[in-house]
């Protein structure tokens, strides 16, 4: 398809968030408002066997449809799907994976409803929300699954007691009160004493939740000439209600969460560079780290050392010379903020590269210029700066750090108006057109402009921007 002039909206605004490689991707889906859904479909309390079997059937379909799902675990209205560690399913794009999972599961739920509830009309459309979480190693993915199963145990034991108490005549409030502060052991005792129920005899599906995975099954394919069976191992999708907290299951099924071997190049995929969204003003705000100490060591005047501030301004001016995309700088005390033009394509808007190169450059300028400003002072401690990158929608630009500056002065209780403007207003660094001249090129006269970087100490109110519209719109 030919590219239209509008195509940029896809290229520039769509962010495909890719999940980090070499992680087990878990999609956990959860029924939305299933409290209500189970009520209007008169599910049995606390566990409706058919409803749970329907969930398991949907999970089984998920494993059939998506071969990269290696394990699923479900309880109540939730199901977790574990993708194999190195899956390249939709290039690991988060929104694709998440949306497809909830959608396919929902679709199966509606399609299979009649198989599990032949006498119940589906009165409301069921729907699920979901999230994606990445687990970086075998321990964390095993712990994740153990966490869900422990949750299942705690909830189910409580709900079993609660609904038996309610069915035996207690109000919901009384049942709640009776269970308040009880431990697992107490609940087992209550079930045994009051209802002659051994909790361990409850359905394993209720107690343990359901695991769906591919099990190795040996089947006889034929017999050889001497009549001995020839067996073949096949992988068969299985639902089991077993313990996955202890090591036994995983020792027996090591192939399920197998750590995969890959070629070395895969490490490149970890380099996920965050890009700044388009049509935003990028501000890199640089701040001298441990400046108290630094200014003490170099005996800077307090609270403002004029020379030190001029050194900051000189470094800032050099920043504007080096980075044409910086349209404005504002500094006071030990910090300087640089505004990049809205459409900057510096480092293809990769955040870490912009942030690091600016900070490094500023540091370098500061050190190189030191001798010019402090000819009689040795730089005895390395200055170092930290920075953050901020994104502003257009109308918010211009406020920068001015308020903080004024606050600083109030703190030091200075007579505001007697102080130099540089102290009171901070410093603005920007380009100003200094002259226009005409050059003769061939037979044509060409008007050229010269823009110089200047530093001013002025009010950054509306007036400033009204008089200098070219700064932000050049
Ligand atoms: P959201 O997930 O936040 O939308 O709320 P929810 O109403 O789905 O509640 P949540 O997911 O926290 O809990 C699941 C709810 O589903 C339980 O509280 C029950 O009310 C209901 N539920 C799940 N399974 C069964 C079941 O087998 N029988 C009955 N009766 N209810 C169930
Ligand atoms: Mg729910």
Provide the residue-wise pLDDT of the chain in tens; the chain has 474 residues.
Answer: 456 777 776 666 666 788 988 999 999 999 999 999 999 999 999 999 999 999 999 999 999 999 999 999 999 999 999 999 999 999 999 999 999 999 999 999 999 999 999 999 999 999 999 999 999 999 999 999 999 999 999 999 999 999 999 999 999 999 999 999 999 999 999 999 999 999 999 999 999 999 999 999 998 888 888 988 889 999 999 999 999 999 999 999 999 998 887 777 777 777 777 888 888 889 999 999 999 999 999 999 988 999 999 999 999 999 999 999 999 999 999 999 999 998 899 999 999 899 999 999 999 999 999 999 999 999 999 999 999 998 887 655 444 444 544 544 444 444 556 678 898 889 999 999 887 777 777 777 777 888 899 999 998 888 898 999 888 876
Report the 10 Å Cβ neighbour count for 198.
10
The number of angstroms, rounded, from the C-alpha of 436 to the middle of its chain's C-alpha atoms is 50
pLDDT given for residue 340 in this prediction: 94
> How many angstroms does the Cα of residue 190 sit away from the middle of ligand 2?
28
Query: Which two tokens mark 131?
Result: 């999230």
pLDDT given for residue 147 in this prediction: 98
Report the 10 Å Cβ neighbour count for 292.
10
Say which residues have a Cβ less than 8 Å from residue 60's Cβ, sequence separation at least 6.
212, 237, 239
pLDDT given for residue 159 in this prediction: 97
Please work out whether the CB of residue 113 comes within 6 Å of at least one atom of ligand 1.
no
Peptide bond into 141 cis (omega under 30): no
Please work out whether the CB of residue 76 comes within 6 Å of at least one atom of ligand 1.
yes
Report the 10 Å Cβ neighbour count for 296.
12
CA–CA gap between residue 303 and residue 420 (Å, rounded): 12
What pTM value is reported for the model? 0.75
> How many angstroms does the Cα of residue 34 sit away from the middle of ligand 2?
5
Same fold, 18-214+238-253 and 281-471: yes
Write the CA distances from 399 to 88, 162, 312, 386, integer angstroms.
Answer: 45, 58, 20, 21
Contact predicate 405/332, CB 8 Å: yes
CATH number for 281-471: choose from 3.30.70.3000, 3.40.50.1100, 3.65.10.10, 3.40.50.10470: 3.30.70.3000
Query: Which two tokens mark 121?
Result: 């009309």
Domain parsing of the chain, residue ranges: 18-214+238-253, 281-471
CA–CA gap between residue 96 and residue 73 (Å, rounded): 21
Write out the residues surrounding ion ligand 2, Cβ under 5 A: 30-31, 34, 77
Q: Residues 345-384, buried b or exposed e (16+ Cβ, 10 A)?
A: ebbebebeebbeebbebbbebbeebbeebbeeeeeeeebe
- Does domain 18-214+238-253 match CATH 3.30.70.3000? yes
Contact predicate 194/169, CB 8 Å: no
Cα angle: 67, vertex 69, 74; to 5 degrees: 135
Please work out whether the CB of residue 51 comes within 6 Å of at least one atom of ligand 1.
yes
Atom of ligand 1 nearest to the CA of 49: 27
Please work out whether the CB of residue 43 comes within 6 Å of at least one atom of ligand 1.
yes
Sort 322 into a burial class: Cβ within 10 Å, 0-12 / 13-18 / 19+: middle
Please work out whether the CB of residue 38 comes within 6 Å of at least one atom of ligand 1.
yes
Atom of ligand 1 nearest to the CA of 47: 27
pLDDT given for residue 473 in this prediction: 79
The number of angstroms, rounded, from the C-alpha of 36 to the middle of its chain's C-alpha atoms is 31
User: Beta 326-332 vs 281-288: how paired, if at all?
Assistant: unpaired
């Amino acid at each position: 398809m030919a590219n239209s002039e509008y195509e940029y909206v896809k290229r520039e605004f769509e962010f495909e968030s890719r999940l980090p490689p070499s992680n087990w991707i878990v999609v956990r889906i959860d029924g939305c408002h299933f409290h209500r859904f189970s009520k209007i479909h008169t599910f049995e309390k606390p566990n409706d066997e058919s409803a749970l079997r329907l969930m398991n059937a949907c999970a089984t379909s998920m494993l059939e449809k998506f071969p990269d799902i290696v394990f699923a675990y479900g309880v109540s209205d939730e199901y977790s799907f574990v993708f194999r560690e190195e899956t390249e399913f939709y290039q690991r794009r988060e929104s694709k994976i998440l949306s497809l999972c909830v959608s396919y599961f929902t679709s199966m739920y509606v399609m299979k409803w009649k198989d599990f509830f032949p006498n119940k009309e589906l009165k409301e459309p069921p729907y699920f929300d979901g999230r994606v979480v990445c687990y970086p190693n075998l321990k964390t993915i095993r712990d994740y699954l153990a966490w869900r199963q422990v949750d299942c145990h705690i909830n189910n034991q409580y709900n079993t007691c609660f609904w038996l108490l309610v069915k035996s005549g207690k109000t919901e409030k009384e049942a709640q009160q009776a269970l308040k502060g009880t431990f697992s052991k107490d609940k087992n005792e209550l079930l045994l004493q009051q209802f002659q129920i051994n909790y361990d005899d409850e359905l394993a599906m209720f107690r343990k939740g359901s695991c769906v995975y591919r099990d190795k099954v040996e089947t006889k394919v034929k017999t050889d000439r001497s009549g001995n069976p020839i067996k073949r191992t096949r992988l068969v999708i299985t639902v089991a209600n077993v313990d996955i907290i202890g090591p036994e299951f995983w020792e027996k099924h090591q192939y399920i969460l197998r750590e995969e071997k890959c070629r070395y190049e895969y490490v490149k995929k970890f380099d996920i560079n965050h890009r700044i969204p388009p049509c935003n003003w990028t501000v890199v705000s640089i701040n001298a780290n441990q400046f108290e100490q630094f200014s003490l060591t170099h005996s800077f005047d307090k609270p403002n050392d004029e020379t030190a501030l001029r050194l900051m301004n000189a470094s800032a001016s050099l920043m504007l010379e080096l980075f044409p995309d910086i349209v404005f700088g504002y500094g006071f005390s030990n910090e300087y903020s640089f505004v990049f033009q809205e459409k900057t394509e510096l480092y293809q808007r990769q955040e870490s590269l912009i942030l690091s190169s600016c900070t490094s450059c500023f540091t370098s300028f500061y050190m190189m210029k030191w001798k010019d400003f402090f000819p009689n002072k040795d730089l005895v401690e390395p200055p170092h700066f930290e920075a953050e990158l901020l994104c502003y929608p257009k109308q918010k630009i211009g406020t920068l750090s001015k308020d903080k500056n004024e606050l600083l002065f109030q703190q030091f209780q200075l007579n505001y108006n007697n102080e130099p403007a540089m102290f009171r207003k901070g410093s603005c660094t920007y380009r100003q057109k200094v002259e226009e001249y005409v050059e003769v090129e061939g037979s044509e006269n060409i008007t050229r402009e010269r823009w110089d970087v200047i530093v001013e100490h002025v009010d950054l109110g509306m007036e400033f921007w009204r008089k200098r519209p070219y700064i932000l719109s050049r």
